[in-house]
Homo-oligomer: A and B are copies of this chain.
Amino acid sequence: VDLLSRREFLVGAGGFAAGLAVAGAGNLLTPATLAAEAVPAWPWPYAKLDPEAARKAGYYGYYDANCSYGAAKSLLGELSKVVGHPFNTIPPDLFRFGGGGGASWGTLCGALIGASGVVSLVTKDINKVLDEMYGWYCSEPFPSAKMDGFAKFKNQPTSVCDSPLCHVSVGEWCRVSGKRVGDAERKDRCAKLTGDVCAKTVELLNALTEGKLIAAFKPDEASASCLGCHVGAKSTLENTIGKTGCVSCHPNSHKK
Contacts and interface: CB of A to CB of B under 8 A. Distances in A.
Given A86-B35, A242-B167, A94 B108 contact: no
B113 A95 contact: no
Contacts of A86: 32, 35-36
A70 interface: no
A192 interface: no
Nearest to A240: B171
Contact of A241 (B121, B167, B244): B167
A81 to B, nearest CB: 13
A35 B89 contact: yes
Interface of A: 1-4, 8-9, 12-17, 19-20, 30-36, 38-39, 42-44, 84-86, 88-91, 93-98, 100-108, 112-113, 116-121, 126-127, 130-131, 134, 164-167, 170-171, 174-175, 180-182, 231, 233, 237-244, 249-250, 252
A121 B108 contact: no
Q: Which 9 pairs between the two chains have the least Cβ-Cβ distance?
A: A32-B85, A171-B240, A106-B242, A103-B130, A107-B108, A97-B116, A249-B249, A35-B35, A42-B93
A126 B100 CA distance: 13
B89 A36 contact: yes
A238 B88 CA distance: 38
A45 B40 CA distance: 23
Given A38-B35, A89-B35, A93-B42, A106 B240 contact: yes
Given A4-B13, A36-B85, A85-B36, A117 B94 contact: yes
A81 B113 CA distance: 27
Contacts of A12: 1, 4, 8-9, 12
Contact of A14 (B2, B118, B181, B233): B2
B241 A100 contact: yes
Contacts of A35: 34-35, 38-39, 85-86, 89
A76 to B, nearest CB: 10
A248 to B, nearest CB: 8
| A31, A39, A43, A106: most-surrounded residue (chain B CB, <10 A) | A31
Given A13-B31, A167-B242, A120 B93 contact: yes
Contacts of A16: 2-3, 30-32
A70 to B, nearest CB: 14
